[in-house]
């Protein structure tokens, strides 16, 4: 019995000794890591906003929507239909084709029934060029940010699909079509924002970054 007690005491002492050695080893390890740390940690100064981002925004030059024709003494022969427009403008925005009446979704410009050059109201990419027996030759330009313009009733076209064109570049000349034959020689100009037809008179003279604020 005495031998068994001595044996248990010896095993218990060995167990405590082993635990003590482990504690000592881990203590030495963590103390070594602490000693290896740099005493003076580098101080990183806070990043200050010096307003450069705002300056970059100020440097952006936004185009101003221009007329689709250059400096000629034009006449608006077809208005944009609006329920809020005066009766005179509403009457001027009705197109008679065949035996039906249609509301104009743009503005038709004419210069004494003479041919004139038609220009891009903004820079953009020519997305479509068509030749319709009803609407005449048509050019569609994508200006980005949801803005698209269409130029209809052209007599000639000077651009191709995929062309990158600058604001004011000649895209063709005015002409006639069957859809609005009483208008004579003219260009029918449509301005669209996010697929909705917009009265061009509301955006001509406005910068492109101002347009969303007008309709949203």
User: pLDDT tens for residues 24-57?
Assistant: 544 544 455 455 555 554 444 444 555 555 555 5
Task: Give the integer Cα–Cα distance in Å for 77 and 182.
Answer: 10
Phi, psi of 39 (to 5 degrees): -70, -40
CATH topology of domain 75-215: Glucose Permease (Domain IIA) (2.70.70)
Domain segments of the chain: what residues? 1-43, 75-215
Q: What is the pLDDT of residue 106?
A: 97
- Does the predicted TM-score (pTM) go above 0.75? no
Quote the pLDDT of residue 10. 55
Beta-carbon-side half-sphere exposure of residue 59 (alpha carbons within 13 Å): 6
Low-confidence ranges of the chain (pLDDT < 70): 1-58
Closest CA to 179 of 144, 119, 138: 138
3-state secondary structure of 74: coil
Q: What is the pLDDT of residue 29?
A: 46
Q: HSE of 97 in the Cβ direction (CA atoms, 13 Å)? A: 14
What pLDDT score does 43 carry?
44
């Amino acid at each position: 019995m005495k031998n068994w007690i001595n044996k248990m005491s010896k095993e218990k002492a060995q167990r405590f000794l082993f635990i003590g050695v482990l504690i000592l080893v881990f203590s030495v390890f963590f103390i070594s890591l602490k000693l290896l740390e740099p005493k003076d940690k580098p101080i990183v100064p806070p990043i200050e906003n010096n307003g450069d981002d705002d300056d970059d925004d100020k440097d952006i030059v936004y185009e101003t929507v221009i007329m689709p024709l250059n400096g000629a003494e034009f006449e608006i022969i077809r208005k944009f239909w609006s329920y809020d427009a005066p009766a005179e403008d509403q009457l001027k925005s009705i197109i008679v084709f065949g035996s039906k009446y249609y509301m104009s979704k743009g503005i038709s410009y004419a210069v004494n029934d003479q041919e004139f050059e038609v220009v891009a109201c903004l820079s953009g990419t020519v997305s479509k060029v068509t030749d319709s027996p009803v609407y005449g030759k048509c050019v569609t330009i994508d200006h980005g940010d949801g803005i698209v313009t269409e130029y209809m009733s052209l007599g000639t076209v000077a651009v191709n699909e995929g062309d990158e064109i600058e604001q004011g570049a000649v895209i063709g000349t005015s002409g006639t079509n069957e859809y609005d034959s009483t208008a004579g020689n003219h260009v029918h100009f449509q301005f669209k924002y996010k697929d909705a037809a917009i009265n061009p008179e509301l955006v001509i003279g406005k910068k492109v970054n101002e347009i969303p604020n007008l309709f949203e």
